[in-house]
């Protein structure tokens, strides 16, 4: 047994030798993902590469359908299988040391009260990727008051990242209003919410909802590059104008 553990530790060290400094701001040993469809499935796979992550709860009652394949990493083999179990299978195939807990249940108070599934005291971060608006963050706050909550959603090309969703509802009831959907928007939303999680404790992260059109990302990156090329005083002026203008009313980027 000792030899096996030693060999596995060596393999893990090799697997993450290039990621040692990438997740230095990661403070979450246990993460729960609500909804593992278009966004949540990608979030789960991205998080499986975070070395410091040890426990991952996947919560979703749905099964994989043919229509899911165009915007996720599910394949024909997974059709009619539970999404949470399919994602867990994919994660374990590349990362044996993560404790993945698939929960094929609706997220509600009954689930949270059932200690068979969730240990609320252990969850450091909740990432809500459900495709509808749910006013149930008060339940999380009540039972898990010290955990962080992030929200990621998309509707067509419109993406929202919310770093304080219990205060700012960002998604209308009824789910998608645009049937158009593709893997680019889903993957982009997943990458951004993981990036927000990694940097959530940074002082310069604005904890408010941000909504933008994914088609404008390259333009926004070009604008950001132009701003970074300005001298420090001009950059400070832009920052001050931005913060003063949006101090009370969070902006919706891309409008």
What is the predicted pLDDT for the residue at 252? 42
Written as tens digits, the pLDDT of the chain (255 aa) is 444 444 556 655 665 555 555 555 677 889 999 999 989 999 999 998 887 888 999 999 999 999 888 888 899 999 999 999 999 999 998 888 889 999 999 888 888 777 777 777 788 999 999 876 666 788 888 878 888 888 888 877 788 888 777 655 545 444 555 555 567 888 888 988 888 888 776 555 566 677 778 778 778 778 777 877 888 887 777 767 666 655 544 444 333
E strand intervals along the chain: 30-34, 55-59, 99-103, 125-128, 148-155, 158-162, 210-213
pLDDT at residue 210 in the model: 79
- The predicted structure's pLDDT at residue 60: 94
Q: Which residues make Cβ contacts (< 8 Å) with residue 69, sequence separation at least 6?
A: 75, 76, 79
The pLDDT score that the predictor gives to residue 177 is: 56
The reported pLDDT for the residue numbered 44 is: 96
Q: How far apart are CA 129 and CA 40, in angstroms?
A: 5
What is the distance between the alpha carbons of residues 104 and 111, in angstroms, rounded to a whole number? Answer: 11
Query: β-strand 148-155 against 158-162: which pairing, if any?
Result: antiparallel
DSSP string over 200-242: TTSTT---S-EEEEGGGHHHHHHHHHHHHTS-HHHHHHHHHHH
Within a 10 A sphere around the Cβ of 40, how many other Cβ atoms? 29
Q: Which domains can be identified in the chain, with CATH numbers? A: 25-216 (3.40.50.720)
């Amino acid at each position: 047994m000792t030899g096996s553990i030693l060999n596995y530790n060596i393999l893990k060290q090799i697997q993450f030798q290039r990621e040692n400094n990438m997740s230095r701001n990661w403070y979450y040993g246990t993460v729960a993902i609500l909804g593992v469809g278009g966004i949540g499935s990608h979030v789960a796979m991205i998080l499986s590469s975070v070395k410091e992550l040890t426990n991952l709860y996947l919560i979703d009652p749905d099964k994989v359908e043919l229509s899911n394949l165009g915007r996720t990493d599910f394949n024909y083999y997974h059709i009619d299988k539970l999404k949470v179990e399919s994602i867990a299978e994919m994660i374990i195939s590349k990362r044996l040391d993560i404790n993945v807990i698939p929960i094929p249940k609706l997220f509600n108070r009954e689930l949270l009260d059932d200690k068979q599934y969730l240990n609320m005291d252990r969850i450091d971060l909740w990432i809500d990727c459900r495709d509808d608006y749910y006013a149930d963050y008060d339940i999380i706050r009540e039972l898990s008051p010290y955990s962080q909550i992030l929200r990621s959603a998309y509707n067509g090309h419109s993406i929202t990242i919310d770093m304080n969703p219990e205060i700012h509802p960002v998604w209308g009831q009824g789910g998608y209003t645009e049937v158009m959907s593709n893997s680019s928007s889903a993957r982009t939303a997943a990458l951004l919410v993981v990036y927000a999680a990694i940097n959530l404790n940074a002082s310069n992260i604005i904890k408010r909802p941000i909504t933008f059109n994914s088609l404008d990302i390259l333009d926004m990156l070009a604008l950001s590059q132009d701003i970074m090329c300005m001298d420090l005083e001009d950059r400070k002026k832009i920052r001050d104008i931005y913060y003063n203008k949006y101090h009370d009313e969070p902006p919706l980027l891309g409008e």
